[in-house]
Amino acid sequence: MAAANHKDEAYLATVIPKRIQLFETIKAQQNLHRLSLLSDPIKITLPDGKVKEGKRWATSPLDVAKEISKSLAANSLISEVNGVLWDMTRPLEGDCELKLFTFENDEGRDTFWHSSAHILGQALEVEYGCKLCIGPCTTRGEGFYYDAFYGDLGLNEDHFKKIEAAATKAAGERQPFERIEVTREQALELFADNSFKANKTITVYRCGPLVDLCRGPHIPNTSVVKAFACLKASSAYWRGNKDRESLQRVYGISYPDKKRLEVISPNMYNMQLWETSGHAANYKENMFVFEIEKQEFGLKPMNCPGHCLMFQHRVRSYRELPLRLADFGVLHRNEASGALTGLTRVRRFQQGFHMSVTILWREYYARALDIIVDSDKFSSNVLQDDAHIFCRESQIKEEVRGVLEFVKYCYDIFGFTFDLKLSTRPEKYLGELATWEKAEAALTEALNEFGKPWQMNEGDGAFYGPKIDISVSDALNRKFQCATLQLDFQLPARFELYYSAEDEAKREAPVMIHRAVLGSVERMFAILLEHYKGKWPFWLSPRQAIVCPVSEKSQQYALQVRDQIHNAGYYVDADTSDRKIQKKVREAQLAQYNYILVVGEEEANTGQVSVRVRNANDHSVMGIDGLLAHFKAETDAFH
């Protein structure tokens, strides 16, 4: 059996439409049959004992949820009818006991991820014309996967961007999950082109172009999936038999809320946690410590111990590694007052690209985040700044090199150069000497393969492991410490972290990589202020343009121009004050607007603007379309 290694237009034009047509024909026949049945009254008993009335073959669990409340209807993903899981949109067939489940319930989560697997399958089939096999939620209880046959195409992370885009498109189309019952003969006809689907399943579901054999049940429609990410691709055998076809498995994760793709840990922990991690003995003087009900607590100065607890909370498999966790939590460190310096060293700070950190940061950094997230080179699930990567020893070099490449990519966006230093074992350290030597050797090898010059910084490593320190240089060649990459064999040992190896009877300890790109939002913001001297480049500026009408006569046109530029996605203001035009232009220059757009009666009549560039006296006249094209070119030019 062959499969195309690119989008198979013939497959999309023939097989999928034919399958949809057969599905719709069977569905129409079954709907006609149901119309012939009497819609007898039925009683629907809820968990609290209340009884709702409905009609047989007409009332669905979703109808019942809507009758109770709009929020319940919006959040209910699946129901249980007389002990059997049931689609929310599937009509009830008689008197029943009804339960409703949301994402907070195991039944709701499993159904959500099972449905997300169908969305993933749709993306894979549409993009690559592959032969889909099976797509369940994972047995470990988080996420899902889909096996498929691709012929000679080898999937990897480079394909994830396209897969995620197709999945997001499917979610945006609000495709309903529709169910029909089929005979074995009908199933064989539906999937005549795919021998992997020849089984005894007697129900078929459709969402958009995907028609798939499936027992179900499913969520009401694809729009419930608000966040979707591919995690990794691996090889598998059909039915687990190494003598059968070689398949490829794509793992994914999804959530009904984008925020759930972050992890967020508590701001304070009992000091027992910091004793386990070693921070109580080695870092306590830098922590804010207090007592609650005769127990000692500490505000977290870093996220790593919390992430260890997340790794530890259930059995992990080698297939999950590398596991990357990113945290947007606020950190507190009890810095000496003499060490505090503006925004570069503070007692409360935040690590991460989170868009709600502060209004000030969001205004200035929103565009940089958008550019990085939209990059084809890096998947969005590894973009958050403060992260911990749990991996196998054999994966260290690849993960470290990937972090270094990501640091280079981010710093290139801002025009930074950077230096690398390998900081080795300090006098006060945890663990065995042999472990330290192994960790330092792994970082040395990764640095050499990265190909950029680096220096040795003897004795300046963290107490739990060696690290690579990265200092950036701004436009005046001033150096600032920002990014860091720390290898840690100690915390996994102290928290007794393990994962099951290929041999399920064997357990191995993961290696933990601490990774930060910005260092902190506050410090990076301060560095950018110094680097650009307050004159933000157009692509990053929160004050990209301002429209200044010459007089009240051209004010309406000025507002029209402002709206056009705003609708095109740029930051733009309008000065509608009664000041003289010379004063407006001068104020706009002092406020560092990149472009000052002057409009008078002549511009209003011709549909143009007079364009002045920041810190330049000359000006030019442009049409709105030409101006927007210029803005786009300038935004795109930096990368």
- For 178, the enclosing helix (H) or strand (E) is strand 178-181
AA letter at 232: K
Q: Which residues contact 579 (CB under 8 A, 6 or more apart)?
A: 587
Structure tokens at 563: 């709206």
Rounded distance, CA 515 to CA 322, Å? 13
**Token pair for 424:** 């080795």
Q: Of the candidates 492, 486, 485, which has an alpha carbon nearest to the alpha carbon of residue 511?
A: 492
Pairing of strands 289-292, 246-255: unpaired
The position carrying tokens 């050797």 is: 441
Of 86, 146, 85, the C-alpha closest to 117 is 146
From 611, 562, 614, 620, select the one nearest 591 (Cα to Cα). Answer: 614
193 is catalytic: no
Q: Which of 130, 304, 391, 482 is catalytic?
A: 304
Map residue 470 onto helix, strand or coil. strand
Let me know if 300 is a catalytic residue.
no
**Rounded CA gap, 398 and 401, in Å?**
5
Catalytic residue among 248, 350, 351, 544: 351
List, in sequence order, every residue forming a beta bridge with 248; answer none if it has no partner. 148, 235
Where would I find the beta strands (DSSP E) of 240-288?
246-255, 268-270
- Which residue, 137, 108, 128, 126, is CA-closest to 211? 126
Is there a catalytic annotation at residue 332?
Answer: no
What gap in Å lies between CA 357 and CA 331, rounded to an integer? 12
Catalytic one of 131, 425, 467, 515: 467
Active-site residue 514, yes or no?
Answer: yes
The active-site residue out of 118, 179, 324, 514 is: 514
**Residue 400, SS3 per DSSP:** helix
Q: Which two three-digit tokens encode residue 260? A: 């759930």
Which residue among 197, 218, 388, 531 is the active-site one?
Answer: 388
Please calculate the CA angle 34-36-40 and round it to the nearest 5 degrees: 80
What span, in angstroms and rounded, lies between the C-alpha atoms of 34 and 59? Answer: 12
Residue 627: strand, helix, or coil: helix
- Is 50 one of the annotated active-site residues of the chain? no
The DSSP code sequence of 313-359 is TS-EEGGG-SEEEEB--EEE----GGG-BTTTB-SEEE-S--TTS-H
CA atoms of 375 and 182, how far apart (whole Å):
44
Contacts of 64 (CB under 8 A, 6+ apart): 44, 46, 52, 54, 98, 100
Q: Are 612 and 598 in contact, with CB atoms under 8 Å apart?
A: yes
Please confirm, yes or no, whether 304 is among the known catalytic residues.
Answer: yes
Active site residue 469: no
Residue 42, beta-bridge partner list: 54
Marked catalytic residue, from 333, 515, 543, 612? 333
H or E stretch covering 278:
none
CA atoms within 13 A on the CB side of 431: 24
Query: What are the catalytic residues?
Result: 304, 333, 351, 386, 388, 467, 514
